[in-house]
Structure 1
């Protein structure tokens, strides 16, 4: 079977690279003689990392190669991740939303089946974005989404023709390999109470940097934690982490990991922490996967949906409702009850792993 995978790949986003690794590893586990081509912005790096064929993903060049790959493929896998949204500017056929829909449409023109795979949908708020979704997404052959909200959202957008099944983020099927590179990069004694912290730029709520700094300072003073910032998207998250640290009284008691570790290395590190606090969806998924209790700061429905499924929503908050005093209280409760919360998270993550693997089973049922 020949497949082409289209997504936000080759751009250094840890969550998306974890998605790709999960898809590739699980396809190889389940399908004999699978032939995989990935559309990537860094084709050489992606080919080396995953031992796959690659084609440059943007429209600037390699368009003949894109068409050739799609003509030869049995299936286009579009996803996973939050590809179908217009948070970033959508102008006519320029922007992420038109790109992914046009790749899917091109696959259909080439006679190739299309599966939107383990996707989180929205927001799609522009009139043009809604038109594009209704016209092009309805041409897919099958859709799996990572939460019920995404399925409901698709139906509101008028995408009703393809069968749509709720599963879970494919990263819950990530195959962990032992790798202590992150831990080895830090001058730790082994006695620290590590808390993984994941930040990201979010310009509508820049006050959250100061609020999070206050929370971490208080937990350092009262609970003796050692915050370690885990940048899930390279220099963007490194800079956001520094913005929190420079507002802290106890900056010297924090560490910042480099922004160039692999998803598997970050996963291993988060798994060795007492707790995680984060905005990035996949930092919270990594926490759930490794049984680490986590407090999420939700800037999007996809984060809230995950936290509800992991069982940690009651300790978390929406970004616009971020109350530092409440988060301090919640964090102290989580640290004090880590063992029982970890057991709950492990049980819930096992259910989501089963749902994540359903993405692969449904692919096999529908397209083999």
Structure 2
């Protein structure tokens, strides 16, 4: 039997740990008889890290032969179809999906978080592409609601990263305990004044708790300067972790008491590994996660201007907050595997062994 080739398309190879975690999940969940080909911003890095075939996501010359030699095209997970941060980005993904469908490939939209879609044209072409997919899974109620309005059937399950297998992090156990992880990201609303306020709050928090602060940039090109700025001002022990393997990134939170995070997948990873979480939301997907999991936090735009108020709130959550229960975590992990079931049912139906 000839191997089944599946082209995996997402924001891969661009240094964003959340999207790399989604790719790791997708590769973990694909049936073993499927040969993935990943469209990547850094094909060599993707080949080396995951041991899969990869080609340049922006080069048409290798891409067209890859599509011709493949049977399946998969939109990998995450917020690919949204126009809040870029009006061009969704058309890149929509264009590739349309090309694959026009070439006769079976298509799957997997683990999607849809929107915001502010542009009428984006909504129209996105609706057309989703309606032509053979299988669709989404990660939240908002995305399911959009597809329901478009009369596109879909499967809803928690974000696939809940089910990512973690790996232990070398050297973590040698750092002082207890530990608190901080994952801030660059954003126009994270002004220098707000960042300095958060830094002062962290300084006071560390003095009061005697914790080791772990600075964890999820996209180093955007986040590392922020992490370095905070670390340079902390009075106590700290460590900056730049981890390339998303499984190690998730495993990092096994050795952490509390996570203070802006990054969506940092909060999922932390909650999945039993951390108390405190969120600072810059995006509707983070706000929705806060509501779904009852994670305390603030909208970035509403961040208190008093560092003492921020630090006091963190201290209260550190002392009295609760992580998700083991039962809740297991339920979320089990339901996240519905995305795996969709893939296996799809391949069993259209490519029976």
Please report the TM-score for the alignment, with normalisation by the length of structure 2: 0.89
Per the TM alignment, residue 244 of structure 1 is displaced from its structure 2 partner at its CA by 4.0
Give 2:185's aligned residue: 200
- Residue 125, structure 1, aligned to residue 118, structure 2: yes
Per the TM alignment, residue 265 of structure 1 is displaced from its structure 2 partner at its CA by 2.4
Give 2:224's match in structure 1, choosing from 223, 228, 238: 238
- Residue 307, structure 1, aligned to residue 307, structure 2: no
For residues 106 and 173 of structure 1, the distance between their equivalents in structure 2, rounded to whole angstroms, comes to: 31
Per the TM alignment, residue 114 of structure 1 is displaced from its structure 2 partner at its CA by 1.2
Give 1:79's aligned residue: 76
Per the TM alignment, residue 226 of structure 1 is displaced from its structure 2 partner at its CA by 2.5
For residues 237 and 5 of structure 2, the distance between their equivalents in structure 1, rounded to whole angstroms, comes to: 47
Alignment check: 8 A CA contact 1:179 1:264 kept: no
Give 1:146's match in structure 2, choosing from 119, 139, 152: 139
Give 1:316's aligned residue: 297
- Residue 279, structure 1, aligned to residue 262, structure 2: yes
- Residue 253, structure 1, aligned to residue 236, structure 2: yes
Unaligned runs of 5+ in 2: 349-353
Per the TM alignment, residue 326 of structure 1 is displaced from its structure 2 partner at its CA by 5.1
Give 2:338's match in structure 1, choosing from 350, 355, 358: 358
> What is the DSSP-based 3-state SS (H/G/I as helix, E as strand, rest coil) of the residue aligned with 1:203?
coil
For residues 287 and 56 of structure 2, the distance between their equivalents in structure 1, rounded to whole angstroms, comes to: 33
Give 2:14's aligned residue: 11
Which ranges of 4 or more aligned residues in structure 1 deviate by more than 6 Å?
A: none
> What is the DSSP-based 3-state SS (H/G/I as helix, E as strand, rest coil) of the residue aligned with 2:76?
strand
For residues 261 and 241 of structure 1, the distance between their equivalents in structure 2, rounded to whole angstroms, comes to: 16
Per the TM alignment, residue 75 of structure 1 is displaced from its structure 2 partner at its CA by 2.0
Alignment check: 8 A CA contact 1:297 1:316 kept: yes
Per the TM alignment, residue 100 of structure 1 is displaced from its structure 2 partner at its CA by 0.7
Per the TM alignment, residue 135 of structure 1 is displaced from its structure 2 partner at its CA by 3.5
C-alpha RMSD of the superposition: 2.2
Q: Deviations over 1:182-209 (max 9, x none)?
A: x27xx83x3x321100010111341431
Q: In the TM superposition, what are the counterparts of 1:205-216 in structure 2 within 5 Å?
A: 205-206=190-191, 207-216=193-202
For residues 147 and 254 of structure 1, the distance between their equivalents in structure 2, rounded to whole angstroms, comes to: 38
Give 2:161's aligned residue: 171
Counting matched residue pairs gives 342
Q: Deviations over 1:272-306 (max 9, x none)?
A: 01100010011111101211111011111211222
Give 2:27's aligned residue: 24
> What is the DSSP-based 3-state SS (H/G/I as helix, E as strand, rest coil) of the residue aligned with 1:237?
helix
Q: In the TM superposition, what are the counterparts of 1:261-272 in structure 2 within 5 Å?
A: 261-272=244-255
* CA distance 1:171–1:307, shift in 2 (3 Å): same
Alignment check: 8 A CA contact 2:227 2:240 kept: no
Q: Deviations over 1:229-278 (max 9, x none)?
A: 101101311112234456x5xx2425342435322222222220110001
Per the TM alignment, residue 211 of structure 1 is displaced from its structure 2 partner at its CA by 2.8
* CA distance 1:126–1:244, shift in 2 (3 Å): farther
